[in-house]
Amino acid sequence: MKRPVLFLAGAFLLFPALLLGYRVAVLGYPFFPSVPGETWELQMEATLSRGPSRQGTLWTGLPPTGTGVTVIEEQFFSGPLDFTLYREGSNRVGLWYGAMEETEDARIFYRSVLRLRTPGPLRTPPQRAGPYPARAGREATALAQELVRRWEKLPVPTRLEAVREGARGNWGSPPPSERDRLRWAAVQRDLGTPTSLWLLFRAAGLSVRLAEGLPLAERVHTKAMRFLQVWDGNRWLRYDLESLQQISATAPVLPLARDGARAVQVLDGRLEGLRWTLTKRTPSHWRQHFDRIVRSNLFLDRWSYFHLPAEFQETFRILLLVPIGTLIIGLLRNIAGFPTFGVFMPVLMALAFRSTGLAYGLVIFTGVVALGYFLRRGLDRLRLLLVPRLSVMLTLVIAALGILALVGNRLGLREFMAVGLLPFVILTMVVERFFILVEESGFHAAIRTALGSVAVAVICYGLLHWERLQLAFFLYPELLFAVAGCQVLLGRYTGYRLSELLRFQALRARA
């Protein structure tokens, strides 16, 4: 390798090493920066119009504190209504109420910033078995206790399974008497499935609660998820109310209401346009852990990205990782010999997937490119000139994305609407290149290149989402020089590509 290249790469690698060493050894920065937990922002909006009693009253469950959730900031907007916040059992309640004019609707807004500790809000052990459902009468309670008596002696996890099977009608042998089963069916009809399940699990001495919450994912919810939580002696297990299947414990949920309460109850008036928006607030989460930097007067601390306004921090959190993405593309192309569409296309695809999520992003991309390819084939017969042809393709791609958004709105799929501004360029270019590749090198080569691009995009996506890496570059932006150093070294790699070992196999000089 040439000496100037090695010298430049060495300098690029040495500079961040020295600066990082100084930060760690002298300024006390962490060597492997990490921050436990997550910070989320919850927004709730709705419009309340008055009911027959000329009043409006709305009961809403708010994220509870002290269960792995810390409320850092809380705001509400009540318009003409009064607002009060209080505790009711294990729930935190926001109550909007007041007299309302006929013509005036009250816009309700609530916002809070929440810090979630890992392992999150699901690990708090229950104090005791908790209440019986208030609606269950004495007779129903006695029946439930009678039905589950047979499992009384079983250890908690086994008992839980047995009750669950019983609730689905598999009482085991000998089954309860025909009369008891008929009576239980009547109780179920009377109380409804959720409450009767609550009753049955509680009668077996299990800690159980009927809860509502929001799946903890960046999206807009118009309905809270209702589920049954049962303590198995170790953790809360969640069960779907319809199928009684266990809901994966790895999908975290932000609880809003427990012990049978609903997340939203309209006590008076009519509610419209209810929606919750959950957003992850990564930089402000980091900021809490690096408070020292924010307040420090040291030169390096004052020139930290933590001083940027919050919305720009969000940009740089991602932007600083893009060079690594291009380094990966370089590695895969020049060392592995992966075929990709263009140099930056996979990184741009990975960036576009950020707003839609990987799975939906891939589906949308595949769909639009396939559609675009057939349209492009049709257009080819018309023999349009280059620029107008690309414009037509662009218009068609945007129309496809527009239709997708409308369909997504009808189906309640936020991902179909969240495509953003970036993808249309990428999609149009991919369609054009895909078509040209099919024409010049055949369908197989084009598919191979498309798959190569997707594979690289998926790798880049994983990289851009790696929070510890984001934090490392955010805290130590000098690492960009190290990336540049690696890129320079890669630029002088003149050895074989892995794919060439296969391609030139017949030429190998066997010893």
Partner 1 sequence: MIWRAARELRAAGVLGMNRRNADYIMARNPRSRFPLVDDKVLTARLAEAHGVPMPAIYRVIERHRDIAGFERGLPGDGAFAVKPARGAGGMGIVLVERWGEEGFVKPNGTLVRREALYHHVSNILSGIYSLAGQPDQAIVQALIRPDDAFESVCWRGVPDIRVVVYRGVPVMAMTRLPTRASDGKANLHGGAIGAGIGIGDGRTRHAVHRSRPVDRHPDTGNPLDGIEVPHWERILLASARAFDLVGLGYLGVDQVLDREKGPVLLELNARPGLAVQIANRAGLWGRLEQVDQAPADIFASPEARVAWARRAFPGGTPAKEGT
Q: Which residues bind partner 1 (CB under 8 A)?
A: 334, 337, 383, 385-386, 440-442, 445, 491-498, 500-501, 503-511
- Written as six digits, the tokens of 400 are 């496809």
Q: Are 75 and 111 in contact (CB under 8 A)?
A: yes
Distances, alpha carbon 70 to alpha carbons 37, 64, 104, 252, 502, in Å: 11, 8, 35, 16, 57
What number of other Cβ atoms are within 10 A of residue 131's Cβ? Answer: 14
We find the least distance from the C-beta atom of residue 12 to partner 1, in angstroms, to be 19
We find the least distance from the C-beta atom of residue 390 to partner 1, in angstroms, to be 9
Q: Kindly tell me which of 61 and 452 has the beta carbon lying closer to partner 1.
A: 452
- Cα 150 to Cα 144: distance, rounded to the nearest angstrom: 11
Q: Kindly tell me which of 138 and 510 has the beta carbon lying closer to partner 1.
A: 510
Q: Kindly tell me which of 292 and 503 has the beta carbon lying closer to partner 1.
A: 503
We find the least distance from the C-beta atom of residue 365 to partner 1, in angstroms, to be 24
We find the least distance from the C-beta atom of residue 435 to partner 1, in angstroms, to be 12
User: Long-range contact list for 375-380, CB < 8 A, 24+ apart?
Assistant: 375/431, 376/431, 376/432, 376/435, 377/435, 380/435
Q: Kindly tell me which of 134 and 506 has the beta carbon lying closer to partner 1.
A: 506
We find the least distance from the C-beta atom of residue 447 to partner 1, in angstroms, to be 15
- Written as six digits, the tokens of 368 are 């639009």
Please report, as a single letter, which amino acid is at residue 332.
L
Q: Kindly tell me which of 458 and 490 has the beta carbon lying closer to partner 1.
A: 490
Tell me, what DSSP letter sits at residue 241?
T
We find the least distance from the C-beta atom of residue 438 to partner 1, in angstroms, to be 12
We find the least distance from the C-beta atom of residue 7 to partner 1, in angstroms, to be 17
Using a 10 angstrom Cβ sphere, with 0-12 exposed, 13-18 middle and 19 or more buried, the burial of residue 481 is middle
Q: What backbone phi and psi angles, to 5 degrees, belong to 189?
A: -60, -40
Residue with token string 């810390």? 70
- Cα 193 to Cα 241: distance, rounded to the nearest angstrom: 7
Q: Kindly tell me which of 367 and 388 has the beta carbon lying closer to partner 1.
A: 388
- Cα 115 to Cα 173: distance, rounded to the nearest angstrom: 48
- Written as six digits, the tokens of 143 are 């029946």
Q: Kindly tell me which of 300 and 384 has the beta carbon lying closer to partner 1.
A: 384
Strands 219-221, 270-280: parallel, antiparallel or unpaired by DSSP? antiparallel
Q: Kindly tell me which of 462 and 491 has the beta carbon lying closer to partner 1.
A: 491
Q: What is the distance, to the nearest Å, from the Cα of residue 390 to the centroid of all Cα atoms in its chain?
A: 35
We find the least distance from the C-beta atom of residue 375 to partner 1, in angstroms, to be 18
